[in-house]
Each structure stands twice: as structure tokens, then as C-alpha cells.
């Protein structure tokens, strides 16, 4: 069911669907390959109907996405997936529930990003993520374990970011790049050396060339780890060190 | 397992992986939606390791992709898919084998494209496809059923097209757009009113803006039909009529 000793990558996706499609592209673009058959085998469950993650975490939506994601994880494992990835940062709030549902490893985008940031020598990072992700404190705690301070925008900035993520990108509309740049400038001016694109919708801004050199794209971190975990050779990733 | 009365779309993909990722994008881009939850639920099996289709059809590769595809179809149906799509024209040589393996409908990209071409009033079409697809005669026969003549490039042109598909696009290298334009010019000069992008790798050239207004993109045809079949509302497709 795979290329030689390779593992099939199972993707808990659709959270949202544009970000998951870009993740699929990232896997293809960054796997060393000369023909179709050199590429990884994946099975992607793009379950867009999964309840909104931030809505549940903030208590605005009673239906938990956790059991839906755990069920998808079991189905992906049954399909033959040997490694799972979740292409949504906010959804990592339910990581333990998902990981407990299956025997195969589930990559943790938040832990992998904190490791990558530590590896590049960062000490203070901006966090651009949904209010759900910021509120869970997962990035802040995981980064602190690596000696990295993690700083989210102020309340007005966070509100502007939620508009970019929900009212613009997830709604299929163009993102307000100036509004985004004002947010990142503010974080960099406050002493952040880089900023985490801690929502996979924001990875789409990097794809479009709008985020600059200080962005750490969590979806690129996840894609690199997934290619390696499945037995492929990752190519073309660039992780410049943090300036002092 | 779906949004209301919607069906989950199962995709037999990875043939090749870049084209399947673009198909996923097309589904997302062309489904009327204001939030993640408005989008279709999909499950995509990107089985890049599936044996090469053209290689088998031309007798260069003894391993048939048919049983592999039929097995994926069964697994996608078991996952919950209510409609299946195959994102590779050449693989439609095995359409009957796949359709016979499952109870759910399998969209036929070749039949849908011939219907679409007939609907736009075309009488003579160029066919840009792999030598495998051209050799099966599937497009020629299906178009003839609609009173449409279907013309492939000459031997040298077909060779050039195979280089574009295999040595450039499938290998992750830039396509030679001048070589492609020479092919389409030759078909249009020979009286073709439009030309079929009859290989999903060529849809990537249209995505990049390199194919002009005379292209009928088989993957767009498939995406529109898939969105409708799953209960979504397709938006933003454009099928200009053939000039007389």
C-alpha cells in the first residue's frame, strides 16, 4: 500500500479546505521526485463540515470538533495511513483526543514549530493565530519550554487578525495585506525576532508572497516533518536563523 | 457524515499528485461558500505509487493500474464517499473496471467533456493528451457520438507533448510554453475551434494562464460536475460558445 518502505500520510483536513489543499501542494512541491511514483501516497479527509474549532473553545458553539476529528483519525488509520497530520493549528487543542484514538503517530504542529524556532535561535516570537489558539495558551507554553517568549497582538490587533482569517480568507475573499502588515510590524517593533503564522489560513498569505522573511510558517514545518516521517526526502525548505 | 443532504466526494487521485492538488483547489474555489462548513466534504486518495497509466496501455509496463484504482474506489466508498471522481484522463481507460467495483456513481471526465463541448456548439476539437489517452481512442469515439471531430497532434507534436507532460510537469520542472503554444496553434490552424486539455497535468498550464481562451479544461469540467453531484452550488465557471 505504499512506495517501498514508505508510509501513507493521513491528513485530518478541511479545517479549512483552502489551507489543506495548500498543504497537499507543499507535500508535492517539497518531496524529491522525478515522476508521479516518486511522490508520497496520501489520504486526505477534507471534512469541511467539522464544527468550528475557535467557536467551541470560546464557548460560542456547543458541538466539539474533538470526537469528529478522532473518528476521522480512526478512519484514516483503517485506510492504511501510517502517520497522521492535522492541518489546523486551533484543532491541536484536541490533539490528545485524536492521538489517543489511534495507534499510529500523529504529528504535532505546535510542538514541531516550537522546536524549529528554538533550532533557529529565536528567543522572542510573535504569535499570529485565531483567538481560539491564543486562548488555549498552547503555543505560549510549548515555546516557553524551549526558552522562547511568545507574544500575541493586543485586543484590537487580535480582532483585526480574526477578520483577516474568518471574514476574508476562510470566506474566499482577498485578505487585507496592509492590515496584516500593520500587525506584524507592531510585533517586530515590540522586539519579536520572527512571528509564527499560527493559523494555516495565514500560510496562504505566505504562499501569495505577503508575509516577508520573518514568518515561520507552521504548515511548512508540518509538511517537512510529514515528508520525513513518511520516508520521503524533503527539499527546498529554508529556515534562516534568528538575528541576535 | 456530510453537510445536510450533501454527499462526500471521493477522489481517486495522485495521478499525478500536482493535478490532484489543483483539482482539490478547483472544488474549493468554485463551491459557493462563506465559511469552512459551507464547503464540500472530500476524501482524496492521492496514490502516487499507482502504476503509470500510459506505460501499461502502451505495453511498456506489465503492471495494470486498473486493480489498484478499483481497490481505491472500494476503500473510498467504505470511507463514506457518495460520488467518485478520477483526476486523470488516461486512467479513464480503466473506468469500467473502477465503476464495476463500487455501488456509488463514478463521474466520467471524458463523457462529461464531450457533453460540454457539444453544449458549447463545437464541431472540431483538438485533443491534447498523453499517447496513452490518444491511443485508446476514448475521446475520439465519445466526441464522435456527439458529432464532434477530435484531432490529435501529428507524431512529432505528440512526442513534444509527452515531453511537456512527463519530463517537465510531472517531473516538477517548468513547462516549455512556446512548445505548447506551437502545438495549439497548429491544431487551431488545422480548423479546430477549441482544444481539449485532455491530461490533468495540462490543466496546470491553464492555472498558470498559459493556454488561452480556446482551451476546454477537462479538470474544470470534472470539478463542476462533482460539485453539482455532491449537492453544492458551482460558481465561477465560464464555458464560452464555439465561434462558427
CB contact under 8 A, B21 and A16: no
CB contact under 8 A, A34 and B171: yes
Identify the pLDDT of residue A3: 53
User: Nearest CA of chain B to the CA of A45: how many Å?
Assistant: 5
Answer yes or no: A143 catalytic: no
User: Nearest CA of chain B to the CA of A190: how many Å?
Assistant: 33
Place B171 in a pLDDT band, splitting at 50, 70 and 90: confident
Q: Mutating which of B1, B40, B47, B67 best tests the A interface, going by the most A Cβ atoms within 10 A?
A: B47
- B132: Cα within 13 Å, side-chain hemisphere: 22
Judge whether residue A1 has pLDDT over 50.
no
Size of interface A-B (CB pairs under 8 A): 132
Judge whether residue A2 has pLDDT over 50.
no
CB contact under 8 A, A45 and B2: no
Q: What is the mean pLDDT of residues A85-90?
A: 96
Which phi and psi angles does B28 have, rounded to 5°?
Answer: -65, -45
Task: Give B65's contacts (C-beta < 8 A, 6+ positions apart).
Answer: B15, B50, B51, B52, B53, B56, B91, B94
Q: What is the mean pLDDT of residues B50-76?
A: 94
Strands A81-86 and B81-86, by their bridges, are unpaired
CB contact under 8 A, A48 and B39: yes
User: Nearest CA of chain B to the CA of A172: how many Å?
Assistant: 7
Catalytic residue (one of B143, B199, B230, B242): B199
Looking up cell 482577498 gives A174
Of A24, A39, A43, the CB nearest to B24: A24
- B48: Cα within 13 Å, side-chain hemisphere: 29
Of A25, A51, A79, the CB nearest to B79: A79
Answer yes or no: A88 catalytic: yes
pLDDT digits (tens, 9 = 90+) for B108-153: 999 999 999 999 999 999 999 999 999 999 999 999 999 999 999 9
Judge whether residue A137 has pLDDT over 50.
yes
Identify the pLDDT of residue B187: 97
CB contact under 8 A, B42 and A41: no
Identify the pLDDT of residue B193: 96
Which residues of A fall within a CB distance of 8 Å from B79?
A: 45, 75, 79
> Could you tell me which chain B residue has the CA closest to the CA of A78?
B79
pTM of the model: 0.94
Q: Mutating which of B3, B10, B46, B87 best tests the A interface, going by the most A Cβ atoms within 10 A?
A: B46
Q: What is the mean pLDDT of residues A65-86?
A: 98
DSSP structure string for B30-68:
TB--SSGGGSPEEEEEEETTSPPHHHHHTTS--S-SHHH
CB contact under 8 A, B49 and A18: no
Element (H, E) at B228: helix B218-229
Identify the pLDDT of residue A192: 97
User: Nearest CA of chain A to the CA of B173: how many Å?
Assistant: 9
Separation between Cα atoms, residue B4 and residue A230, nearest integer Å: 35
At A32 the three-state DSSP class reads: coil
Distances in Å between the Cα of B118 and the Cα atoms of B83, B194, B234 are 24, 12, 20
Place B180 in a pLDDT band, splitting at 50, 70 and 90: very high
Q: Mutating which of B36, B43, B236 best tests the A interface, going by the most A Cβ atoms within 10 A?
A: B36
pLDDT digits (tens, 9 = 90+) for A177-194: 999 999 999 999 999 999
Task: Give the dihedral sign, CA A46/B175/B219/B207.
Answer: positive
CB contact under 8 A, B49 and A166: no
Q: Mutating which of A4, A16, A18, A21 best tests the B interface, going by the most B Cβ atoms within 10 A?
A: A21
> Could you tell me which chain A residue has the CA closest to the CA of B41?
A47
DSSP structure string for B132-149:
HHHHHTHHHHHHHHTT-E
Which phi and psi angles does A33 have, rounded to 5°?
Answer: -160, 145
Looking up cell 464544527 gives A51
Catalytic residue (one of A122, A150, A192, A199): A199
Q: What is the mean pLDDT of residues B73-85?
A: 98
Amino acid at each position: 500500500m505504499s512506495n517501498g518502505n514508505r508510509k501513507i500520510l493521513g491528513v485530518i483536513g478541511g479545517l479549512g479546505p483552502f489551507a489543506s489543499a495548500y498543504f497537499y501542494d507543499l507535500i508535492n512541491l517539497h518531496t524529491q521526485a522525478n515522476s508521479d511514483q516518486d511522490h508520497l501516497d496520501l489520504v486526505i479527509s477534507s471534512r469541511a463540515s467539522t464544527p468550528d474549532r475557535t467557536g467551541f473553545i470560546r464557548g460560542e458553539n456547543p458541538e466539539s470538533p474533538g470526537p469528529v476529528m478522532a473518528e476521522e483519525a480512526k478512519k484514516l488509520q483503517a485506510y492504511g495511513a501510517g502517520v497522521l497530520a492535522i492541518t489546523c493549528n486551533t484543532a491541536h487543542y484536541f490533539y490528545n483526543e485524536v492521538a489517543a484514538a489511534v495507534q499510529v503517530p500523529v504529528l504535532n504542529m505546535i510542538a514541531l514549530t516550537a522546536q524549529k524556532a528554538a533550532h533557529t535561535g529565536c528567543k522572542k516570537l510573535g504569535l499570529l493565530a485565531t483567538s481560539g489558539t491564543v486562548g488555549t495558551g498552547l503555543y505560549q507554553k510549548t515555546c516557553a519550554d524551549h526558552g522562547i517568549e511568545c507574544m500575541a497582538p493586543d485586543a484590537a490587533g487580535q480582532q483585526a487578525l480574526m477578520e483577516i482569517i474568518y471574514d476574508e480568507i476562510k470566506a474566499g475573499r482577498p485578505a487585507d495585506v496592509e492590515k496584516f502588515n500593520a500587525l506584524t510590524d507592531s510585533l517586530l517593533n515590540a522586539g519579536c525576532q520572527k512571528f509564527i503564522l499560527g493559523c494555516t489560513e495565514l500560510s496562504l498569505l505566505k504562499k501569495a508572497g505577503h508575509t516577508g522573511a520573518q514568518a515561520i510558517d507552521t504548515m511548512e514545518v508540518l509538511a517537512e516533518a510529514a515528508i520525513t516521517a513518511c520516508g520521503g526526502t524533503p527539499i527546498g525548505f529554508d529556515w534562516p536563523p534568528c538575528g541576535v
